[in-house]
Amino acid sequence: MAKCSGCGKTLGFFESKKMFSDGSWICAPCFKKLKAKEMEKELEKRGREILKGRAGYWGGNLLHPPNSLGDAGNFTLTEKQFIFEKIGRDSWKLEIPISKIILKKISYATQEDLAYKQRTTALAYFAGYGPITSYSRKFTCIVIPYKDERGVEQAPAFSFTDQKTLEAVGKFFYEVMATKIKK
């Protein structure tokens, strides 16, 4: 018979329990308490979630060079962090603490959507119009410069699925700047 490492209770054969890598056991109620504590620590580390959605990454971090057509992913903006998680093959995660962001250097940038241009040019060519390259579309992204854990300045650029999300992210950083200036 195994004993719960959380409360010391003897665990029955059919009782719900979890085993850890060190060989110790824990009963279901203690496991729930442990999970709740882990979630609380994670919330304390990340902060309250403010905004979540889809985003595109357009480079600016030396450890994560961008795909020529941008990298699609999910973002989460919390009180303490901006988190981008690339989805698909070769996924990675970029966590930017708000305290490390160089607020005075946050800016908007306009870029050309090369994927759109290549698709429309190819379609026009196959439709018999010849190689027309005037089809282009621009989008706005926000550049979030910060100093990473080694003190190296990075400046990743992100685009969002809609204008409202871009404005909400910009407004959040504006509010953070305004509060820092008041202090």
User: 78 is written with which tokens?
Assistant: 């919390």
Q: What CATH number did the domain enclosing 104 receive?
A: 2.30.29.30
Same-domain check for residues 28 and 52: no
Same-domain check for residues 78 and 124: yes
Same-domain check for residues 55 and 39: no
Three-state SS for 81-148 is: EEEEEECCCCCCEEEEEHHHECHHHCEEEEEECHHHHHHHHHHHHHHHHCCCCCCCCEEEEEECCEEC
Q: Which of 183, 142, 145, 182 is nearest to 165 (CA)?
A: 142
Between CA 163 and CA 141 the distance in angstroms is: 10
User: 118 is written with which tokens?
Assistant: 């290549």
Q: Does residue 139 contact residue 162 with C-beta atoms inside 8 Å?
A: no
Q: Which of 36, 33, 56, 52 is nearest to 44 (CA)?
A: 36
For residue 1, the model assigns a pLDDT of: 63
For residue 126, the model assigns a pLDDT of: 61
Same-domain check for residues 22 and 111: no
Same-domain check for residues 60 and 142: yes
Instruction: Indicate the average pLDDT of the chain.
Output: 81
Same-domain check for residues 114 and 144: yes
For residue 5, the model assigns a pLDDT of: 76
**If pLDDT is split at 50, 70 and 90, which confidence band does 167 have?**
very high
Residue 131 reports pLDDT greater than 60:
no
Same-domain check for residues 151 and 167: yes
Domain region containing 101? 47-182
Between CA 183 and CA 181 the distance in angstroms is: 5
Same-domain check for residues 22 and 51: no
Residue 135 reports pLDDT greater than 80:
no
Mean of the pLDDT values across residues 170-183? 86
Same-domain check for residues 63 and 145: yes
Same-domain check for residues 6 and 62: no
**If pLDDT is split at 50, 70 and 90, which confidence band does 86 have?**
very high
Whole-model pTM over 0.85:
no
For residue 68, the model assigns a pLDDT of: 72
For residue 31, the model assigns a pLDDT of: 81
Q: What is the DSSP letter of 40?
A: H
Which residues touch 27 (CB under 8 Å, ≥6 apart)? Answer: 4, 6, 7, 9, 11, 15, 16, 17
For residue 158, the model assigns a pLDDT of: 94
Same-domain check for residues 56 and 17: no
Residue 109 reports pLDDT greater than 90:
no
**If pLDDT is split at 50, 70 and 90, which confidence band does 82 have?**
very high
User: 55 is written with which tokens?
Assistant: 């985003």
Which residues touch 37 (CB under 8 Å, ≥6 apart)? Answer: none
Count of domains for the chain: 2
**If pLDDT is split at 50, 70 and 90, which confidence band does 154 have?**
very high
For residue 2, the model assigns a pLDDT of: 73
